[in-house]
Amino acid sequence: MPIADVAVDAAPSPDRFAAALRGFGPLRLIVIVVILAGNFVVVPLGAVLVLVWVRWSQTPWREIGYMRPRSWVVEVAGGIVFGCLFKLLMKSAVMPLLGADPVNQAYHYLAGNRAAIPGMLFALIAGAGFGEETLFRGYLFERLGKLFGSTRIAAHTTAACTRR
């Protein structure tokens, strides 16, 4: 028996359930529908279901965009500095050029409204930050990337399918 055949026979067989979840068969389509439907119930539910899928399908966290930063302090401080500079640029240069009102009237009711703080923090952190990014940029990009491959046309198709 050749050495190559021995190595293949000695390799452990993959978990069928995990492989079915990562594939594109009937079970996989049911999982996609359930995860997307969870997003209609409440935004973070879809993301939580994605995390359950990652665990059960044995998909590496890196594939849905979760990576441990080299330094948490640098990442958080860099995000805060970038956010402040971006806000300053938008308020001082871009919005006046476009003739936009300096006060966003749609959200002006939140000014001084302490009762709305918990709901807004939930919407910002759990809904937009965690829920939407995990579901759309993590899960759907990963799934569409596996379906279409890594060609340039596939990258444009994947980006176009997940835009809103």
Each residue's pLDDT tens digit, 42-91? 778 888 999 998 998 888 888 888 888 999 999 999 999 999 999 999 99
- State phi, psi for 97 to the nearest 5 degrees: -65, -35
The first and second tokens of residue 93, run together, are 């240069």
Residues 6+ apart with CB under 8 A from 164: 136
**Model confidence, pTM:** 0.66
The first and second tokens of residue 33, run together, are 């529908």
Measured between alpha carbons, how far is 52 from 46 in angstroms, rounded to an integer?
10
Each residue's pLDDT tens digit, 114-153? 999 898 888 888 888 888 888 888 888 888 888 777 777 6
Q: What pLDDT is stored for residue 43 in this prediction?
A: 73
Domain boundaries, the chain: 3-69+117-162
Do residues 140 and 162 make contact, with C-beta atoms less than 8 angstroms apart?
yes
Q: Is 22 exposed, middle or buried (0-12, 13-18, 19+ CB in 10 A)?
A: buried
User: The tokens 């939580």 sit on which residue?
Assistant: 48
